[in-house]
Structure 1
Amino acid sequence: MASNMTLITDGASPYCEKARWALERAGVSYVETKHVVVLHMLFTRGLGAGTSCPKLVMGRSSERVVLQESPDILRFADKNIRNEEDRLYPDDPDMQRLVQAWEWRFDKQLGPHVRRWSYCYLLFEQCSYDLLTQGAPMLERVFGWILMPVLRRIVYGALYCNKPGAKERSLQVVEAIFKEVDELLADGRPYICGRRFTAADMTFAALGGPMVSPPQYGAWLPGIEDCPTDMALTMESLRMSPAGRHILKIYDTKRHRLREVEEEVMPSRIRTFGFQGLMKSFLDLQK
């Protein structure tokens, strides 16, 4: 039975990883359609609230509902979890406000600066093709290969990577937020908001994940050993921080479907169109 929910994503976006994680954790059956960064706008245009990803499209034609942002998708997924203790947003109003405040902070400050810092290093590395096109249909990847010099320049400018000192300023913001999380965890609490895993932890882990490259990340990221030297040294340092270790622990212990829903739903699927072998041959010819 086909799912009537489609998650539209692009590249290695940490916001898409956040949405994907929440849906999978709650056992929501959906189909993920991945697109090449920039080209994804052809598929999100007309869905409302800009052309960014992720977007969760539910239903069809006149009955279609579109969730536009990752926090909306998290709240939708949370409604599918029966056990209150497992929900990402606690029922207690004060705790819920605290969780949402941290989620907002990570969404608006951590995510953009992690993305900018990473792309400042990687956009003109060989791995950028895989980052920008992973999981997309074959035809899109072919166009992505042809247009890669243009796509790199568009993304570089759109993320303000071309501004003087952009990489250094973004790293300062990221390190400051990691230090804040270090200080929160210093009192021995297991999670950012206290004794339970919440949307604050999921958001911090998903958006901060590219800084420490957890093996369980839901999109392909280059290994630290494959990154430029300066970038790799920074990532290794952040990995050793309490906040970095928190991300690695969260991915190791929480990046899975809740046991209560494991047997109740169909698995999610990523629509990749079976092109990997063909594209590898095509890319080998370009070397």
Structure 2
Amino acid sequence: MTTAVAENGSAATLSPMNMKPTTETQIQGQAPLRVARVIVNLFSRVGKREPPAPEKTEHIRLISIATSHFVEKARWGLDMLEESKESPLFYTEDLHTPAFASFFTVPASKNKASQTPMIVRSDDTVMWGSDTILRELCSGKNGAPINLYPGDLKDEIMELEDELGRRLGASGRCYAYGSFMLDKQYYGLAIQQTTSNCSKVEQKVFEKMFDKGIDKALIDLMNINDEVMETSARELRAMFGELSDRLERTGDEYLVGNTFTAADLAFATLVYFIVRPPECEPLLIPEKGMPPKLLGLFHELAATKAGQHALKIYKKHRPVDAAGKLVLKNVNQNHNPFKLF
């Protein structure tokens, strides 16, 4: 069974949230991608963690781009389920770079989707899109212990969640990627950010190919240009302003119903790379050397009431380790096919 779902549409002035999908035909038709897939598949592997507890009997594979804000949204929900003793679910994160993630999502979805996050369940059910994953696994369905869409708040939560995805998803991604990729002096940081936690071969191949076509392909996929950058910055400021006003007006601790819901989780994750919560340290590169204009906007937004709300949500509700950091539930993906002993 395959559930075909995409992320929400974006604001009309921004590139679509659901970026142009990659198909098997496209991978096969482009020699650099075809060769890269052969190398990556040869020297890396898809692994599986051991169950962390006896009650964890159902495994989920999360195919991801580590630093994606949409992936972090799905990851947070999965961490809550794995942390719950009442849930049989545990997962392994299958980490990849932008562009190369399609080598794994396309076959997993039988050529129906290339985006992340994508999950593959024990019964081979495949789902993609952070909204779909969260709503399927964390809405109390089939007795699931986590319900981020409680009772009569569900419609309001989903409406706000959709708006957050439309307005913050594309604008945040375009502004962040564009700040690094429209100026080649920041290519090193872009590579460092996008290849963290992947297999060594995937990191190396991505790095070698980055300025030989991957850069232009990603810019085209997101339709990044100076006008879109300005539009993205305006939209980010507008959304943070509106949410700050909402929190100020209601005086509530949370966005909907004065309780922690998918609306708070969605907002916090979609802006984690902007407000930079300490819990997300494993996903973030240091600020040193980052584009000044990017840092200026990030610091401005983090100081707003909405920005402080996102930081509070991470501090109070994000599952973390003893050091207060989120944990990537991955395994060693490096593989040497020529090792004889």
Quickly name the TM-score band, shorter chain normalised: 0.7 to 0.9
Contact 2:137 2:144 in 1 (8 A): no
Alignment of 1:268-287 (within 5 A): 269-273=329-333
RMSD: 2.3
Cα 1:177–1:268 change in 2 (3 A) is closer
Equivalent residue number for residue 140 of structure 1: 202
Equivalent residue number for residue 207 of structure 1: 270
Equivalent residue number for residue 13 of structure 2: none
CA–CA distance in 1 between the matches of 2:156 and 2:180?
34
Shift of 1:193: 0.8
Cα 1:193–1:29 change in 2 (3 A) is same
Shift of 1:272: 3.8
Alignment of 1:32-51 (within 5 A): 32-46=93-107, 47=109, 49-51=112-114
Shift of 1:116: 0.3
User: Which deviates the most, 113-122 or 144-153?
Assistant: 144-153
Alignment of 1:116-131 (within 5 A): 116-123=174-181, 124=184, 125=186, 126-131=188-193
CA–CA distance in 1 between the matches of 2:163 and 2:265?
13
Q: Does 1:87 align with 2:147?
A: yes
Equivalent residue number for residue 21 of structure 1: 76
Cα 1:274–1:254 change in 2 (3 A) is farther
Shift of 1:80: 7.6
User: Which deviates the most, 31-40 or 122-131?
Assistant: 122-131
Shift of 1:91: 1.7
Alignment of 1:52-131 (within 5 A): 52-59=115-122, 63-78=123-138, 79=140, 87-92=147-152, 95-123=153-181, 124=184, 125=186, 126-131=188-193
Contact 1:9 1:33 in 2 (8 A): yes
Contact 1:225 1:232 in 2 (8 A): no
CA–CA distance in 2 between the matches of 1:81 and 1:233?
45
CA–CA distance in 1 between the matches of 2:97 and 2:309?
31
Shift of 1:217: 2.0
TM-score, normalized by length of structure 1?
Answer: 0.83
Q: SS of 1:50's equivalent?
A: coil
Equivalent residue number for residue 281 of structure 1: none
Deviations 1:120-165 (A, max 9, x none): 1123412111222122112211211211112222111211113x41
CA–CA distance in 1 between the matches of 2:222 and 2:200?
26
Shift of 1:231: 1.3
Q: Does 1:190 align with 2:249?
A: no
TM-score, normalized by length of structure 2?
Answer: 0.71
Shift of 1:209: 1.5
Equivalent residue number for residue 237 of structure 1: 300
Equivalent residue number for residue 9 of structure 1: 64
Q: What is the letter of the counterpart of residue 176 of structure 1?
A: A
Deviations 1:25-61 (A, max 9, x none): 12231000001110111111130542000001012xx
Q: Identity, % of aligned pairs?
A: 25
Contact 1:179 1:243 in 2 (8 A): yes
Shift of 1:218: 7.0
Cα 1:254–1:82 change in 2 (3 A) is farther
Shift of 1:219: 5.2
Cα 1:15–1:272 change in 2 (3 A) is farther
User: Which deviates the most, 222-231 or 101-110?
Assistant: 222-231
User: Structure 1: where are the runs of 5+ without partners?
Assistant: 258-266, 276-287
